[in-house]
Amino acid sequence: MRDALTFSIAAVELYERPVHLRLPFRFGVVTLTHCPQAFVRAQVVLPDGRSAWGGSAELMAPKWFDKNLALSNEDNFEQLRQSLRAAQGAYTSDHGAATAFGHFSAHYGSLITQGASFGLNPLVACYGPAMVDRAVLDALCRVAGVSFYQAMCANLAGIDARLTPDLAEVDMGRVLSSLTPAPHIALRHTVGLVDPITAADVTKPVSDGLPETLQEVVAATGCRYYKLKVSGNTAADIDRLSRIAAVLRDVPDCQITLDGNEQFADAHSAAAFWKSVQGTPALQVLAAQTLYIEQPISRATALQSDVRPLAAMRPLLIDESDGTLEAFTQALELGYTGVSSKQCKGIYRSILNAARCRARNEKAGQAVCFMSAEDLTTQAGLAVQQDLALVNLIGLTHVERNGHHYVDGFAGQGGASAEAKAFHDAHPGLYEMTPAGNARLRIHAGNLDLRSLGAPGFASGALPDWHNLQTMAAPAP
């Protein structure tokens, strides 16, 4: 095992570019048709003078990090830019050498506190440092000439329990060195609240040759995992789920997850909804196929009440409530047993939560808690590749992927065909190339090919065309 590497952070640059959706995507209280994607470029310098640049990318999704209806989508975008600028200032203010995890630890608490002073909740405040951390890790891997998997398994980032006292007795080196990434991962397709189920639901066909309806997705992808969004309106949800169940009826070994998107006022109303699902004859099979229910209760109250009666009927997972490194431990005390991995919340949070699950499961001698791989419409390129590598590293076997369905690969990002080709050529198993020069995710029998993600760097053999990105604007005076 190699020692963790120390380095200074010489520069952090912020960029963005517009993303246009081929289909509208509704989650919670917003229907999304376009939004910007943020990019971070960071330079690290080792004590011996060697240096490298790395990158990261993430969609700036509105109404997920902060669902305050008084804020416009543009307000949400500016919140995330504010978080990125704060992280940029913090990480470049300290010129001393530290490990990758050391740089993260030095600014984790202060950036949450600073964000609160600006009116930013912890999810928003952690968005910026999460992106900077990934760009820094990419640069670290490149300067060391190792893959992300190799770096993590050898703990080159220096991950420890300084911010998580409950893991003080856990040997992080042993945990990390035991991780064995797989060559493939199963794709879990998301069915949004306005997604057409059958051709009868399509009023304005896109007609771009890609699947539009759930029926078409089933036929085209071979997926057996599906994530179904629910609205909190029981009658409407039961009707919609029944129609979905009819389409999924013949999918072999089909597995379901339900996403509550904070649409239920409390555990009692969520439990009543689940009993309605179980009591509906058309949903008997779907109910039996459901693995867990994701974040049914608003984050404002989700970690304030005992959910064990609901959790006894179906495992519960926190997602939006996972705002800090402590959130999962708080949730476990209330009856939740799962937590999502989302790179927008921070790669170290996912790794530390994975260590928590392993420690608790080993102590109990059985699986008492779990993690899931959830999406925030990760886009083709750095965003989807780094997230896939992260969830593959921590041993998850299926991953929610929706960005490829709602956005037509690099074409939907406004990316140049040269950039699309570069990513395809570096990852030919992960992407397929179109005659028009666009690269899209390649889905074969419901799986994604991850073998190319083991190249030096953070899961990417190519980088964005930085010169064709927009420099992130400074805040308005």
Q: What is the pLDDT of residues 406-452, one digit of tens each?
A: 999 999 998 678 999 999 999 999 999 999 899 999 999 999 999 99
**Would you state the pLDDT for residue 477?**
63
pLDDT of residue 192: 92
| Mean pLDDT, rounded, for 127-139 | 98
Tell whether the model's pLDDT for residue 256 goes beyond 70.
yes
Inter-residue contact 375 to 458 (CB < 8 Å): no
Residue 344 pLDDT greater than 90, yes or no = yes
Average the pLDDT over 96-100 and give the result: 97
How confident is the model at residue 144, as a pLDDT? Answer: 97
Whole-number pLDDT of residue 27: 65
Q: Which element (helix H / strand E) includes 355?
A: helix 347-364
pLDDT value at position 214?
98
> Quick one: average pLDDT of 461-475?
92
What's this model's pTM, rounded to 2 decimal places? 0.97
Contacts of 298 (CB under 8 A, 6+ apart): 262, 264, 265
pLDDT in tens, 8-35: 999 999 999 999 999 988 766 678 899 9
The pLDDT of residue 431 is 98
At 305 the pLDDT is: 87
Among 147-151, 250-254, 371-375, 414-418, name the one with the lowest average pLDDT.
Answer: 414-418
Pairing of β 431-433 and β 439-441: antiparallel
pLDDT of res. 31:
83
- Of 344, 342, 377, nearest in space to 19 by CA: 377
From residue 172, alpha-carbon distances to 98, 158, 161, 384 in Å are 18, 9, 8, 26
Compute the average pLDDT of residues 280-304.
97
Helix segments in 8-67, DSSP class H: none
Return the CATH number of 8-162, one of 3.90.550.10, 3.30.160.20, 3.30.390.10, 3.30.750.24.
Answer: 3.30.390.10
CB 409 within 8 A of CB 439: yes
What is the C-alpha separation between 414 and 431, in angstroms, rounded?
Answer: 17
The Cα–Cα gap between 408 and 434 comes to 11
Mean pLDDT confidence for 164-169 = 97
pLDDT in tens, 40-69: 999 999 999 999 999 999 999 999 999 999
Phi-psi domain of 440 (left: phi exceeds 0; alpha: psi -120 through 50; beta: other): beta
Q: Which residues belong to CATH 3.30.390.10 in the chain?
A: 8-162
- Give CATH for domain 177-461: 3.20.20.120
Cβ-based neighbours of 354, under 8 Å, separated by 6 or more: 175, 341, 371, 394, 395
User: What is the rounded distance in angstroms from the CA atom of residue 208 to the CA atom of residue 211?
Assistant: 8
β-bridge mates for residue 32, sequence order? 25
In this prediction, residues 282-299 reach a mean pLDDT of 97
Query: What does the CA dihedral 152, 135, 59, 341 come to, rounded to 10 degrees?
Result: 20
Handedness of CA 26, 30, 31, 33 (dihedral sign): negative
Residue 208 has pLDDT above 80, yes or no: yes
Residue spans in the chain of domains classed CATH 3.20.20.120: 177-461
Q: What single DSSP character describes residue 445?
A: T
